């Protein structure tokens, strides 16, 4: 039997695991719960990832097989301490013969550009910009987490939507259709009830409000549209900053890919972001193909497999 590798894409809303053979052919992909790493909670993330990997192996009748390599790209491991903690936790669970852990944006960048130069802006539950310059230099921008950063992301939009609703309730802002839409989405009756809901809300729960904002914006609500515009500007700043850092100028030819659920093809946020990039980062050469991070994780696993068997 040929060697089996597993790639994992772990985020704040879900975890995807792909089993592939040594040629990179995907055999099966399954989804599990969120596995983004929060400081000091690598063990919990490792539990989710290990369970999702085992589910993927079971789905293709390979529960008895130990993958040669597990490559994990997960949100929240930008710092060495979290990355090392998750690596140790996964190694201790014996889910594969060899384990490598990357930031989630790294595997997405790998899927978009392979070993080539390019920039990636991710807008999902969180947000981050990541890139590789023409000389092979790496840089990142944003991705500071739900408390300090993640500007323009789903959780960021959700949190600000709640503030808009409470401000409108006070009379500090005009009335907005967001009020009824948000109350319906979180299944409460009064604006005051949002206090308790928000106190227990995870980043993933807040991110679930972003599609509500997009829908209300499409309906013409001015306040929802202004929030979408602000999100676009935050994500544009990620791209422009990286273009200057890695390519010297935002007017230079810059390969650019967009990833994350909020920036899926056809989405309102993607359409507005693409339009804004034409003036803000005029050198951007947009990659239209879908970015599939778990596929990039498989590529990373195969790269390590080649290095260990060479």
User: Would 79 be classed as within a structural domain?
Assistant: yes
> Number of structural domains, the chain?
1
Range among 66-80, 220-234, 284-298 with highest mean pLDDT value: 220-234
User: Would 264 be classed as within a structural domain?
Assistant: no
User: Would 59 be classed as within a structural domain?
Assistant: yes
User: Would 281 be classed as within a structural domain?
Assistant: no
In angstroms, rounded to a whole number, what is the distance separating the alpha carbons of residues 140 and 242? Answer: 7
User: Would 48 be classed as within a structural domain?
Assistant: yes
Give the per-residue pLDDT at 297: 93
Give the DSSP letter string of 146-166.
HHH--TTSHHHHHHHHHHHHH
User: Would 119 be classed as within a structural domain?
Assistant: no
**79-110: per-residue pLDDT in tens?**
889 999 999 999 999 889 999 999 888 898 89
Give the per-residue pLDDT at 309: 44
**41-65: per-residue pLDDT in tens?**
899 999 999 999 999 999 998 988 8
**15-37: per-residue pLDDT in tens?**
999 999 988 888 899 999 989 88
User: Would 164 be classed as within a structural domain?
Assistant: no
CATH number for the domain harbouring residue 34: 3.30.420.40
Give the DSSP letter string of 21-58.
ETT--EEEEEEES--PPPTT-HHHHHHHHHHHHHHHHH
* For residues 144-166, average pLDDT: 92
Give the per-residue pLDDT at 307: 55
* For residues 115-131, average pLDDT: 91
Q: Which domain holds residue 298?
A: 4-110+292-309
- 70, pLDDT greater than 90: yes
Phi and psi at 202, nearest 5°, equal: -85, 165
CA 110 to chain centre: 14
- 310, pLDDT greater than 70: no
Q: Categorize the per-residue pLDDT at 78 as very low, low, confident or very high, splitting at 50, 70 and 90.
A: confident
């Amino acid at each position: 039997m040929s060697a089996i590798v597993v790639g994992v894409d772990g985020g704040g809303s879900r975890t995807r695991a792909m089993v592939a053979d040594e040629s990179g052919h995907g055999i099966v992909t399954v989804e599990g719960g969120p596995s983004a790493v929060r400081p000091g909670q690598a063990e919990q993330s490792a539990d989710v990832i290990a369970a999702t990997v085992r589910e993927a192996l079971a789905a293709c009748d390979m529960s008895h097989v130990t993958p040669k390599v597990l490559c994990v790209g997960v949100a929240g491991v930008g710092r060495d301490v979290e990355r090392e903690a998750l690596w140790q936790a996964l190694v201790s669970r014996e889910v594969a013969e060899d384990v490598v852990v990357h930031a989630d944006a790294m595997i997405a960048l790998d899927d978009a550009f392979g070993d080539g130069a390019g920039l990636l802006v991710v807008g999902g539950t969180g947000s981050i910009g990541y890139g590789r310059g023409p000389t092979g230099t790496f840089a990142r921008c944003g991705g500071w987490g739900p408390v300090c950063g993640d500007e323009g992301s789903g959780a960021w939009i959700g949190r600000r939507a709640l503030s808009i609703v409470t401000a409108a309730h006070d009379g500090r802002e005009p009335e907005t259709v967001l009020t009824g839409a948000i109350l319906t989405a979180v299944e409460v009756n009064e604006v005051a009830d949002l206090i308790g809901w928000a106190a227990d809300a995870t980043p993933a729960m807040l991110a679930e409000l972003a599609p509500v904002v997009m829908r209300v914006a499409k309906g013409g609500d001015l306040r929802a549209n202004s929030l979408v515009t602000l999100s676009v500007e935050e994500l544009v700043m990620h791209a422009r900053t990286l273009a200057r850092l890695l390519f010297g100028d935002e007017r230079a030819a810059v390969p650019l890919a967009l990833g994350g659920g909020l920036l899926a093809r056809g989405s309102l946020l993607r359409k507005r972001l693409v339009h804004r990039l034409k003036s803000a980062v005029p050198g951007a050469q947009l990659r239209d193909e879908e970015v599939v991070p778990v596929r990039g994780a498989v590529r990373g696993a195969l790269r390590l497999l080649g290095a260990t068997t060479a």
